[in-house]
Amino acid sequence: MDKVWDVIIVGAGPAGMCTAIQTAKHGLSTLVVDRQTEPGGQIFRSAGSSSMIGKLGKDYAAGLPLVKQFLNCGAQFEPGANVWDIAPDRVYYSQQGHSHFVRARQVVLATGAMERPVPLPGWTLPGVMGSGASDVLLKSAGLLPEGPVVLCGNGPLVLQAAVHMHEFNVPVSAVLLTGRMGNIMHAMKHASGILARPGYFLHGVNMAAKTMLHQKCVLGAHDVSISESEKGLQVHYATRSGKHRKLDASTVLLHEGVIPETRITRLARLRHAWDQKQRYWHVDADKWGQTSAPGLRTAGDIATVRGAAAAQAEGSLVGLDICRELGQLSLADRDREALPFLRIIKRCQALQPFLDEYFAPTPAMLQPHPDAIVCRCEELTAGHLGEVIREGSYSPNGVKAQARPGMGTCQGRICGQAVAEMIADAHGLSMENLPQYTAQPPLFPLRLGELVEMPSPSELM
Ligand SMILES: Cc1cc2nc3c(=O)[nH]c(=O)nc-3n(C[C@H](O)[C@H](O)[C@H](O)COP(=O)(O)OP(=O)(O)OC[C@H]3O[C@@H](n4cnc5c(N)ncnc54)[C@H](O)[C@@H]3O)c2cc1C
């Protein structure tokens, strides 16, 4: 019979690495698969090899010791392994053109988050990308965007990108901040949470101050669209006083916050919950990562987006509880070892309401202009989808059946939430009650030959 691992972890970001460090330390056979060629996830991407390691601040540099600890922890790491199907005791992945099937007593999904896709006219033009995508290029390849750059959005990653542009001398035409001015008032109700993580808070204030000092900032920018021009790109926007302005750019970086990437948890048919403040669906799991499917757990941003410190602590807790469940730790030992991680989570949770209010998405941004392409795979505009919705489509799967959004290769990764927001707005429905697109395996296109060549589960028994 083929090997049955004690634990398989999908994702070698901060959460997955910390889960593996615990399970391997306590003697459980641990396999970690990640589609990236190196461990690190989003925040510590390529930390083990990047030429940028000394140049992107201490947040990024903090990844190096963690990556080293993970690589030496005794877990087996499979890089370049893209998981395309999942069940409580099994994982299917594609690696270098070959698909594999592996089994485990416990499976952990630590697959992280993605930038919230917010369609606007012109966002599919060459030269327009997510500011997180630009961050990926910077960390993994030392690549900077061509200036002049226009940054547009809401969230800490916009500020981080603005600071990077200044530090690396990339000219920035303007930073268009789309957050609502009133957010600060709501956030201040939770100001006591700042005391729980003063250093983290001050780091954010520092990024905001540097952005304001070094870049031209437009607060409350709205009605943003992008068009092509002789010089490259032109960004059109309205100011708070309703004046229409335009800016030239070679690159436009968009960012409207980060949301859990739920395709894989939907594929596993896990129960999800809706976060009204940050407006995203996330898997419903307890503090030990246990989901609605026994044997299948989650850790990190896939469950709730709370940043790298929380992701590492959550990953450690999940690892410890797996050790308890599989008999490597007593309940008392699990609780004792969990204490420092629970304290970190408590501090992160205390600050989170402040951050969630301050960076709450702007409702108007979530209702795309009729000219905006919502489904990039099928090139469907908001105008067309809006008609289909108003004619009587009340669920994302219903709109999918009528007009094909979500039928392309990304399986609704990009359009899923935007379509749901449009339905909720048109019919006065609560997002909480809207079912998401049904996810189907494989999660991404595979060669048929790869499927045929894969040993079938029965051959392995
Ligand atoms: C684009 C982006 C950039 C970010 N940059 C920063 C930053 O600079 N600073 C900061 O503080 N926070 C940043 N964040 C937030 C950051 O994601 C979290 O703070 C933290 O990295 C979460 O850790 P995690 O382990 O939960 O997930 P991640 O770090 O996202 O790790 C998830 C891992 O799972 C892998 N994976 C996903 N799906 C599959 C699959 N199907 N098969 C195989 N492997 C898979 C990914 O390759 C990745 O390595 C960023 C988020 C995003 C989306």
**Does the pLDDT value for residue 460 go beyond 60?**
no
In the reported structure, the alpha carbon of residue 455 is separated from the centroid of ligand 1 by a whole-number distance in angstroms of 31
pTM over the 0.75 mark: yes
Instruction: Identify the structural domains of the chain with CATH numbers, from first to last.
Output: 4-114+259-329 (3.50.50.60), 117-256 (3.50.50.60), 367-433 (1.10.10.1100)
Paired tokens of 313: 């602590």
Whole-angstrom distance, CA of residue 330 vs CA of residue 339: 14
- Mean pLDDT, rounded, for 380-392: 97
What are the pocket residues of ligand 1 if the criterion is a CB atom closer than 6 Å to any ligand atom? Answer: 10-16, 33-36, 41-43, 59, 81-83, 110-115, 132, 135, 157, 160, 258, 264, 300-301, 307-308, 311, 443
148: preceding bond cis by omega (within 30 degrees):
yes
**3-state DSSP percent of the chain in helix, strand and coil, to 5:** 40, 25, 40
The runs of H, that is alpha helices, within 251-381 are: 263-267, 308-325, 331-358
Whole-angstrom distance, CA of residue 403 vs CA of residue 396: 10
Residue nearest to atom 26 of ligand 1 (CA): 300
Percent of the chain with pLDDT over 90: 91
Residue nearest to atom 35 of ligand 1 (CA): 11
Task: Tell me the average pLDDT of the chain.
Answer: 95
**Does the pLDDT value for residue 256 go beyond 90?**
yes
Amino acid making up residue 207? M
pLDDT digit string, tens, across residues 21-66: 999 999 999 999 999 999 999 999 988 888 888 888 888 888 999 9
pLDDT digit string, tens, across residues 287-298: 999 999 999 999
Q: How confident is the model at residue 1 (pLDDT cuts 50, 70, 90)?
A: very low
**Does the pLDDT value for residue 329 go beyond 60?**
yes
Q: Which run of H or E residues covers position 238?
A: strand 232-238
